[in-house]
Structure 1
């Protein structure tokens, strides 16, 4: 197994993001449109937070009651800001990191996505637990 492979071999480069100040409804739309479960929050090209689908579910009780999507979006957008729901200062890995380092971080954490950064927090990619499992399967 290639434990020292650079994380750049595994990471997604064209990351779906939202911008600091965007409404929560935008996150919900991106999840539905792209099927992603973790979306970095950026200010310019720097990561300032991350929001997961589970974060949205935690605050959108309407999803549990089959409420109209527009009603859920409007309620969330008028009661909460993205900054109130997202996790700030997410754990990141430098683009010079390895697959092993990413696996160690995700194995010891209670989150399932790892933003990959260049320099001082410039978002350049993303790795998820699922990416690591797929990588592992390819090794056998």
Structure 2
């Protein structure tokens, strides 16, 4: 698990599907929903995880936050220009090991992150993964 004392700083600026509970002690290690309505729903073999965004999420300018925005933000983390951090998405997502990010894919996107509508996002994993909600932080 990749952790650091500075790991809390980005959470003050960026929102994620899930986040760590902001309490002292053991309760602080729990994962709770942030942008998502819950901790995600796996398919029967936990190779796909589906998240639904909460109603009414908006940027500071009033425009809605959509799952297309979340997908693009995740895809950006694959770009060499933004390298570093935990390799879990690269290792776990189908096609993640060879994806180079949205700056090099001509706008195609990563096929294993599916956005069927503005509030739903689906992650397709190479193997079953029961701890995916921790990754969505």
- Shorter-chain TM-score: what band? under 0.3
More strand by share: 1
The structure with the larger Rg is 1
> TM-score, with normalisation over the residues of structure 1?
0.24
More helix by share: 1
Higher relative contact order (CA 8 A, sep 6+): 1
